[in-house]
Amino acid sequence: MLTRKQHELLRFIQVRLEDTGISPSFEEMKEALDLKSKSGVHRLISALEERGFIRRLPNRARALEVLKQPENITTKPAVRKAPANSNDAPRPRTPLTAPANDVIEIPLHGRIAAGVPIEALEGQSTLPVPAALLGTGEHYALEVSGDSMIEAGILDGDFALVKKTNTARDGEIVVALVRGEEATLKYLRRENGMVRLDPANAAYEPQIYGSAEVEVQGKLAGLLRRYN
C-alpha cells in the first residue's frame, strides 16, 4: 500500500508523461509535492521503484517510466494554495520548460546505405537527440547515404534513429545486416522462406536474400535532419 505522498508523486509523473512525453525534473516534483528538499523526492522515487510502480530508463538522467498504477487510485497531484496572508503568497510560476534531461547522447555508428548496401561503420561518436523522439529501449544513430528511401521521407544526410532489436514485423523499416558484412536501411518483407528488402524509390529494385543471409539489427524509431 502506498503512502499519500507516494500516490501524489506517481500521479504527478503519470500526468506529466501523458501531457509532454517527458518525465518531470526532481525540482518540479519537489515543488508539486511541497517538499523541503530533493532528498525527499529521491526517497519517494526509490520506494516506488522498489515496489514496481516505476522504473528508471537507461541512458537518461532522471527519466522515469510508470509501469502500473495502484488499484482505485483517486489521488491527484498536490496543489499548493495561497496562504491567507497575501504578503506570504508565492510568486507566480513561469511556464514549465523541458528539463535539462530532454537531450540525451546516443552512439553514432557511421553511415548506412539507403541504396546498394555499404559497410556499417562502428564509431566512437555520439549524437545529441531530443528524448521525446525516442521511446523505451536502447537506441543508436546512423547517417543515411543514398536516395533509395526518399519516398518514405528519408533523405541523404539524414540521421536515422534506430531502436536496437533483432526482430521486426513485415512492413517495418529496419537496419538489415546482409551476409554479415553490409548494412542497409529498407522495408522488411518475408515471403516463401526468403527475405525481401524493399526500397522506397521507384528507381530501385527490391533486394531478395535467403533468410539466413539477413540479420535485423534495429528498426527505425525516428529521424533527425540538418538544414544548412
Residue 124 CB-density burial (10 A; 0-12 exposed, 13-18 middle, 19+ buried): exposed
> In the structure, what pLDDT confidence band is assigned to residue 153 with cuts at 50, 70 and 90?
very high
Given pLDDT bands bounded at 50, 70 and 90, which one contains residue 120?
low
- The whole-number average pLDDT for the span 25-44 is 83
Q: How confident is the model at residue 28 (pLDDT cuts 50, 70, 90)?
A: confident
**Catalytic residue chosen out of the listed positions 5, 30, 163, 186:** 186
CA angle 144, 148, 153 (to 5 degrees): 70
Confidence at residue 135, expressed as pLDDT on a 0 to 100 scale: 78
Highest mean pLDDT out of 23-37, 97-111, 164-178? 164-178
Rounded Cα–Cα distance for residues 112 and 218 (Å)? 12
CA distances from residue 118 to 94, 121, 219 in whole angstroms, order as listed? 50, 9, 17
The whole-chain average pLDDT of the chain stands at: 79
Question: Is 148 marked active-site?
Answer: yes
Cβ density class 157-188: b for 16+ within 10 Å, e for less: ebbbbbbebeebeeeebbbbbbeeeebbbbbb
Mean pLDDT of the 68-72 span: 69
Closest among 167, 98, 180, 174 to 133, alpha carbons compared:
98
In the chain, the percentage of residues whose pLDDT exceeds 70 is 79
DSSP state of 95: P
Q: Which of 25, 148, 163, 219 is catalytic?
A: 148
Q: 102: helix, coil or strand? A: helix
What is the pTM (predicted TM-score) of this model?
A: 0.55
Q: What is the pLDDT of residue 115?
A: 66
> Which pLDDT value is given to residue 80?
41
Domains of the chain, first to last: 4-73 (1.10.10.10), 105-224 (2.10.109.10)
CA distances from 126 to 87, 104, 123, 226 (A): 50, 10, 8, 16
